[in-house]
């Protein structure tokens, strides 16, 4: 009888006490309101479980049993959202992309991806859209492992294999003995019927969105009819569609087909940007700084010259400014699949810094990197904000981020909370 009572007591303790949600009261010395795009001072954030319960100007919101976290010397923002990642793929600058598949098994890519995911969370990136180059649903395995708590990483919203014309994004000179790689890495379609069935297959597998390769390095394109079919089936299944589309004509075709967003858009015209604004399509400008690109090229001993880097940065800066002027919603995405001198999560913030270097304000850059990403995901009011009812994804930088943005962005992350759980706390 005593043994039975002891067992019942333990069960009662586990269900009635041990599982009570943890409560935190966080004092933010400087606080970024991502919806209103403004900085506030001395705000208190009450977290219970995985949600934000209240944001107030005083500690009256304190509840008995809350753990106090003093970030009064820090700038507190919502967790960053990187809307263009490739956790399962890495490439050296100037090297052919097939090298990664030759040198690494699926298991290798998953184990490496776990390390990449953790580095993003270390950097204060608490949510990502992972957009393919992940074999056949390796991203699904990695996302599920994070969700189960087996490994640490940001929330992953995954696309599964990119839907693409023949050959995917492998170059036109792919050796004949590697001709099977595109089918292993992409969902190749050639007809409208295949477009429809492929989206249904992705949905059945459990993806969070659809990514298409509107054109590839072989000069092949998805037809307007194929893209329209993809969008129609995806939207019926409550899936958003984003398109890899680097040049003007294919961007216009994708936007007219109804895609929700465009990735890259390096060669876009002002008229097509205006079309995007009218249609409500967002742009993910996967840009970087000169210093960031040069570090990556030097690290891999690449052949790209400094002059070529400067020209590329100048062109992307011009495109970004024109997109903002045209009223296109800008969403942060790093596309950081290249090996570099810094951890992958830190390298991913080169894109954030590039928006500031392009002339955008700190407030604009932070809204692009938080709130806008949540809107693109369809998670407005849940992610990218610190407000009542949102998930408790909170990041702090030691110092005044508004005044010393770049240094703090890279080197001064001192607090990371994802889903109400503390990942990093170097605050006092």
According to the model, what pLDDT value does residue 19 have? Answer: 62
Long-range contacts of 295-301 (CB under 8 A, 24+ apart): 295/340, 295/341, 295/342, 296/93, 296/338, 296/339, 296/340, 296/341, 296/347, 297/93, 297/94, 298/341, 299/93, 299/339, 299/340, 299/341, 300/92, 300/93, 300/94, 300/95, 300/338, 300/339
According to the model, what pLDDT value does residue 6 have? Answer: 47
pLDDT tens across 24-41, in order?
999 999 999 999 999 999
According to the model, what pLDDT value does residue 17 have? Answer: 45
pLDDT tens across 311-352, in order?
999 999 999 999 999 999 999 999 999 999 999 999 999 999
Residue with tokens 């919203």: 157
What pairs with residue 55 in β-bridges?
45
Mean of the per-residue pLDDT values of the chain = 93
Task: Please give the Cα distance from 407 to 403 (Å, whole number).
Answer: 10
DSSP 338: B
pTM over 0.85: yes
247 compared with 180, residue with greater pLDDT = 247
pLDDT tens across 92-108, in order?
988 888 999 999 999 99
Task: Please give the Cα distance from 426 to 398 (Å, whole number).
Answer: 9
According to the model, what pLDDT value does residue 302 have? Answer: 87
pLDDT tens across 282-293, in order?
999 999 999 999
10 Å Cβ neighbour count for 188?
Answer: 18
Q: Which of 13-17, 191-195, 306-310 is predicted with the least confidence, judged by mean pLDDT?
A: 13-17
Contacts of 144 (CB under 8 A, 6+ apart): none
Give the residue ranges of DSSP H helices in 20-105.
98-103
123 Rama sector, left if φ>0, alpha if ψ -120 to 50, beta otherwise: alpha
- pLDDT above 90 for 255: yes
Q: Does domain 20-79+386-425 have CATH number 3.40.190.10?
A: no
- Please give the average per-residue pLDDT across 251-272, as a whole number: 97
- pLDDT above 50 for 229: yes
Residue with tokens 């506030």: 40
Nearest to 326 by CA among 293, 294, 285, 363: 285
10 Å Cβ neighbour count for 323?
Answer: 23
217 compared with 388, residue with greater pLDDT = 388
What topology does CATH give the domain 80-348? Answer: TIM Barrel (3.20.20)
Q: By the 8 A CB rule, do 84 and 133 touch?
A: no
Sequence ranges of the domains in the chain: 20-79+386-425, 80-348
- Please give the average per-residue pLDDT across 191-201, as a whole number: 98
Q: By the 8 A CB rule, do 387 and 369 touch?
A: no
pLDDT tens across 56-83, in order?
987 765 666 789 999 999 999 999 999 9
According to the model, what pLDDT value does residue 8 have? Answer: 45
């Amino acid at each position: 009888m005593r043994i039975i009572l002891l067992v019942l007591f333990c069960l009662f303790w586990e269900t009635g006490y041990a599982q009570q949600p943890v409560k935190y009261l966080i004092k933010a010395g400087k606080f970024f309101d991502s919806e209103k795009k403004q900085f506030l001072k001395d705000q208190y954030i009450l977290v219970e479980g995985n949600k934000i319960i209240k944001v107030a100007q005083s500690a009256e919101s304190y509840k008995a049993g809350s753990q106090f976290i003093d970030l009064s010397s820090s700038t507190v923002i919502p967790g960053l959202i990187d809307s263009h990642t490739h956790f399962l793929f890495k490439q050296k600058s100037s090297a052919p992309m097939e090298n990664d598949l030759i040198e690494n098994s699926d298991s290798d890519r998953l184990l490496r991806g776990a390390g990449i995911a953790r580095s993003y969370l270390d950097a204060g990136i608490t949510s990502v859209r992972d957009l393919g180059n992940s074999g056949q649903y390796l991203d699904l395995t990695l996302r599920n492992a994070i969700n189960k708590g087996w490994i640490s990483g940001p929330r992953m919203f995954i696309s599964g294999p990119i839907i693409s014309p023949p050959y995917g994004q492998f170059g036109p000179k792919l050796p004949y003995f590697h001709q099977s790689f595109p089918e292993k890495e992409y969902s190749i379609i050639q007809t409208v019927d295949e477009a429809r069935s492929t989206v249904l297959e992705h949905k059945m597998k459990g993806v969070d969105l659809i990514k298409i390769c509107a054109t590839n390095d072989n000069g092949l394109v998805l037809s307007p009819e194929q893209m329209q079919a993809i969008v129609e089936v995806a939207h019926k299944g409550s899936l958003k569609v984003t398109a890899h589309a680097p040049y003007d004509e294919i961007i216009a075709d994708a936007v007219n087909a109804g895609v929700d967003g465009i990735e890259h858009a390096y060669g876009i015209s002002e008229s097509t940007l205006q079309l995007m604004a009218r249609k409500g399509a967002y742009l993910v400008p996967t840009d970087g700084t000169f210093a960031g690109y040069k570090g990556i090229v030097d690290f891999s001993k690449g052949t790209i010259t400094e002059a070529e880097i400067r020209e590329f940065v100048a062109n992307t800066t011009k495109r970004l400014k024109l997109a903002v002027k045209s009223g296109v919603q800008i969403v942060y995405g790093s596309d950081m699949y290249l090996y570099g001198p810094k951890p992958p999560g830190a390298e991913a913030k080169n894109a954030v810094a590039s928006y500031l270097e392009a002339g955008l304000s700190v407030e604009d850059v932070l809204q692009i990197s938080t709130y806008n990403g949540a809107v693109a995901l369809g998670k407005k009011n849940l992610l990218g904000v610190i407000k009542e009812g949102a998930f408790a994804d909170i990041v702090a930088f030691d110092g005044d981020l508004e005044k010393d943005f770049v240094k703090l962005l890279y080197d001064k992350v001192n607090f990371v909370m994802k889903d109400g759980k503390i990942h990093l706390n170097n605050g006092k």
